[in-house]
């Protein structure tokens, strides 16, 4: 079967179904009443925060041809006419930060008034489990919750599931930050938003849409992914897995697992021990949350158009172990480009969290893993305009893929935003490798964001150097201003330098703001996590 038809969520039917469906749809549509109730997406609701200093989009559904008026208090307003498909869209003129306001939408004799509305900065926050991880599960949750009387920070959490086709509606509601509510907030998003709120003194909205254990391809629309030749093998692997799925065999396997589980539960209870987890029935891959575009369809597409200031992203753990980790940088670039195109807000600011230190501490200078390649792909994605990255070395946990120090993660994301987006002084991120040159048996490394470059240890750790045989050894390194000179007495013809190149690497470089340097390599050898 052609890959396009197998993966196209806009055509989820067989040929027979695609023939029958349009006729059924027309019959159903013809039976609908001509009048439609005025409805809004759930983001447009009490306690919402709208983007300041920009025209703000509103949309919804009402009777075709009817007039829709949107007004803030008795001031700025906008008028539009509902299209033939029942959808309308309008834009309010820009408003400064502040509130509370009331926004009234009127159409066809119906008024909807939204109360307690503020204008501030709106940030989209997405990713997998480390973005989903709540304040209640992170470090110092009791103390942090007690100090969270911050009603000008508000979170809209998308609770709708994934979908096999792009959805117009989602589920979710606004929560006002308080000691009672903050425990359910995304910790990374909250600590990011809290620092912005404290330093900018404006309301902060966090549109939170994340799901644990998910792939980057599930968060990117299919048209965007299919347009990239190098990503095609990843899509084909998903499609092949879907074709090979045997529902009968999987059901039989599940029944056997269930029998064993029942016996283990009985034994555990008799021994007064905790029972094992119940097994799960395998799911048709194309219906799963991880299948390409399914999370985008259900949890991002319905948000498209809500005016935002920018986006933050924390994902990659899942992508490090799927055999395609070498593609991650390209996949991230594709996701960012896709979302920017759909929002139609130009190249809005977009930053991501680089994977932290994890697993056993590094001993081998030749280590390469999927975790490392995903991390390096994130560095390469900084080629995108108006982008940033929070380097999180030192904030990880060797034994836990969900490190609890989310304050550092949120603060480093906010550091990027405060400097690059809001124009404050300082460096937006840790030192980032820029270029290298070789002279007299030494390799000189140049960095961006390297004012005050220094080592946190007496000796600079984490650098490895290789000659033409591509075998790395631990290197000698010294800082000279904003560059590092790397060498080894046994390597007279060096060809590559790597730094912090392991899942849980040795590292030592920081800049004057105390932010660690990103792991990097000067070569482009295709190792694919050997």
pLDDT at position 10 is 35
Instruction: Tell me 288's DSSP state.
Output: S
The fraction of the chain above a pLDDT of 90, given in percent, is 90
Mean pLDDT for the chain overall: 92
Is the overall model pTM greater than 0.85, yes or no? Answer: yes
Q: What is the pLDDT of residue 321?
A: 86
Residues 7, 224 contacting (CB under 8 angstroms)? no
* Helix, strand, or coil (residue 326): helix
- Per the model's pLDDT, the better-predicted residue between 20 and 43 turns out to be 43
Convert the pLDDT of each residue in 337-380 to its tens digit. 999 999 999 999 999 999 999 999 999 999 999 999 999 999 99
pLDDT digits (tens, 9 = 90+) for 460-483: 999 999 999 999 999 999 999 999
Judge if the upstream peptide bond of residue 241 is cis by omega within 30 degrees of 0: no
φ, ψ of residue 135 in degrees (nearest 5): -60, -35
Tokens standing for residue 134: 């709540």
Residue 7's pLDDT is: 44
What gap in Å lies between CA 498 and CA 366, rounded to an integer? Answer: 9
Distance, in Å, from the CA atom of 35 to the CA atom of 64, rounded to the nearest integer, reads: 8
Q: What is the pLDDT of residues 234-282, one digit of tens each?
A: 999 999 999 999 999 999 999 999 999 999 999 999 999 999 999 999 9
CA distance 244 to 402: 33
Closest CA to 430 of 507, 506, 369, 334: 507
Q: Bridge partners of 172? A: 158
């Amino acid at each position: 079967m052609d890959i396009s038809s197998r993966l196209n969520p806009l055509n989820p039917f067989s040929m027979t179904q695609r023939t029958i469906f349009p006729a059924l749809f027309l019959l159903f549509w013809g039976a609908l009443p001509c009048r439609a109730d005025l409805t809004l997406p759930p983001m447009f609701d009490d306690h919402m925060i709208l983007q300041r200093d920009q025209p703000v989009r509103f949309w919804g559904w009402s009777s075709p041809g009817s007039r829709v008026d949107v007004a803030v208090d008795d001031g700025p307003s906008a008028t539009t006419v509902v299209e033939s498909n029942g959808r309308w869209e309008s834009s309010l003129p820009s408003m400064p930060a502040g509130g509370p306001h009331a926004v009234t939408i009127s159409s066809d004799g119906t008024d909807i008034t939204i109360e307690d509305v503020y204008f501030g900065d709106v940030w989209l926050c997405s990713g997998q489990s480390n973005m989903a991880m709540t304040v209640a599960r992170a470090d110092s949750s009791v103390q942090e919750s007690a100090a969270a009387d911050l009603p000008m920070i508000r979170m809209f959490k998308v609770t709708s599931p994934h979908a096999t086709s792009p959805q117009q509606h989602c589920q979710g509601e606004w929560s006002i930050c308080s000691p009672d509510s903050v425990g359910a907030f995304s910790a990374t998003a909250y600590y990011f938003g809290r620092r912005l709120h404290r330093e900018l003194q404006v309301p902060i909205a966090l549109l939170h849409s994340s799901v644990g254990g998910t792939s980057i391809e599930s968060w990117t629309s299919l048209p965007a992914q299919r347009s990239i030749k190098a990503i095609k093998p990843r899509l084909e692997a998903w499609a092949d897995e879907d074709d090979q799925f045997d529902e009968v065999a999987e059901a039989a396997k599940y029944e056997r697992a269930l029998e064993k589980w029942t016996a283990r539960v009985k034994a555990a209870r008799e021994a007064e021990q905790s029972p094992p987890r119940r097994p799960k029935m395998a799911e048709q891959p194309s219906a799963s949350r991880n299948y390409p575009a399914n999370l985008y369809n259900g949890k991002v597409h319905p948000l498209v158009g809500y005016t935002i200031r920018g986006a933050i992203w924390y994902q990659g753990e899942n992508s490090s172990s799927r055999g395609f980790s070498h593609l991650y940088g390209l996949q991230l670039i594709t996701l960012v480009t896709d979302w920017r195109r759909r929002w139609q807000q130009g190249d809005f600011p977009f930053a991501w969290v680089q994977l932290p230190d994890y697993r056993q501490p590094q001993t081998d200078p030749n280590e390469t893993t999927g975790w490392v390649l995903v991390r390096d792909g994130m560095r390469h994605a900084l080629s995108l305009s108006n982008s940033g990255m929070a380097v999180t070395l030192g904030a990880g946990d060797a034994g836990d893929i969900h490190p609890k120090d989310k304050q550092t993660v949120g603060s480093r994301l906010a550091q990027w935003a405060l400097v690059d987006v809001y124009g404050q002084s300082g460096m937006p991120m840790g030192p980032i490798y820029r270029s290298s040159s070789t002279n007299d048996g030494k390799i000189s490394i140049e960095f961006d964001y390297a004012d005050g470059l220094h080592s946190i240890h007496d000796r600079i750790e984490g650098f490895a150097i290789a000659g033409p045989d591509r075998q790395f050894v631990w290197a000698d390194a010294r800082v000279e201003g904003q560059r590092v000179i790397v060498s080894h007495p046994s390597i007279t013809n060096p060809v590559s330098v790597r730094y912090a190149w392991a899942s849980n690497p040795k590292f030592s470089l920081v800049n004057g703001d105390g932010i660690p340097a990103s792991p990097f390599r000067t070569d482009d050898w295709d190792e694919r996590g050997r």
